[in-house]
């Protein structure tokens, strides 16, 4: 967390805006949340944000809604969690009601099909950005200057120190379990939780 505070109404409007422009699911919303909550308004620290990402991914429900609930609760208690969750889901509810009413009338139009075709690669790129940021936070130990500080690193040992080999080993192990066995992903998530408690 940081020392910056905002009103609950502002937080509601912020999550309403996030929910309104999030096209492509919760992972797209993560990138937008990181830009607004961490980089622009400094409501939470990057470390706290990605810790919440891990918790939200590990709990049932859409990750964007989980994040909104978590952040609202941390900043303003249970009432804040309800308000931020409402702000996050309200745009989707409004859009779904409108689409359900009118989509059948224009879904076959060429312009609508072209718009959806264009959205797919754009959304994929935004999701890739969110995944890359989580990957860096989880598996690397960056210097205080961030990625830009790497240009000045000439020592091989310093470069090797950037890699969190313990986390990388667990990541590879989790991938092997997921892709080479029939173990349910839930157990891999539980393994990650125990790993974090015991070794981090």
Render pLDDT for 92-101 as a digit per residue (tens, 0 to 9): 999 888 888 8
- Per the document, the length of the chain is 200
Residues with Cβ < 8 Å from 103, sequence gap 6 or more? none
CA distances from 172 to 7, 55, 159, 198, 199 (A): 43, 20, 20, 18, 16
Which pLDDT does position 84 carry in this prediction? 94
Which pLDDT does position 82 carry in this prediction? 94
- Tens of pLDDT along 137-180? 788 776 555 555 555 555 565 666 678 888 899 999 999 999 99
Average pLDDT, the chain: 81
**pLDDT category of residue 3 using cuts at 50, 70 and 90:** very low
Is 44 in contact with 84 (CB distance < 8 Å)? Answer: no
Put simply, whether the predicted model's pTM sits higher than 0.75 gets the answer no
Which pLDDT does position 95 carry in this prediction? 87
Distance of alpha carbon 20 from alpha carbon 28, whole angstroms: 12
Q: What is the mean pLDDT of residues 129-142?
A: 77
Query: Is the confidence at residue 42, as pLDDT, over 70?
Result: yes
Which pLDDT does position 1 carry in this prediction? 55
Burial of 60: CB neighbours in 10 Å, binned 0-12, 13-18, 19+: exposed
């Amino acid at each position: 967390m940081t020392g910056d505070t905002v009103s609950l109404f502002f937080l509601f409007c912020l999550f309403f805006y996030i929910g309104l422009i999030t096209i492509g699911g919760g992972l797209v919303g993560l990138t937008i949340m990181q830009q607004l909550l961490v980089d622009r308004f400094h409501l939470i620290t990057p470390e706290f944000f990605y810790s919440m990402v891990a918790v939200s991914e590990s709990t049932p429900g859409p990750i964007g809604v989980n994040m909104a609930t978590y952040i609202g609760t941390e900043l303003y208690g249970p009432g804040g969690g309800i308000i931020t969750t409402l702000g996050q889901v309200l745009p989707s509810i409004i859009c779904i009601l409108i689409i359900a009413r009118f989509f059948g009338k224009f879904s076959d139009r060429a312009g609508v099909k072209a718009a959806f075709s264009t959205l797919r690669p754009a959304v994929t790129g935004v999701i890739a950005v969110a995944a890359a940021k989580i990957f860096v936070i989880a598996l690397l130990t960056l210097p205080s200057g961030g990625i830009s500080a790497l240009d000045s690193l000439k020592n091989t040992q310093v470069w090797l120190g950037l890699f969190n080999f313990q986390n990388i080993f667990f990541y590879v192990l989790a991938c092997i379990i997921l892709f080479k066995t029939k173990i349910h992903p839930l157990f891999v998530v539980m393994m990650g939780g125990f790993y974090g408690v015991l070794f981090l």
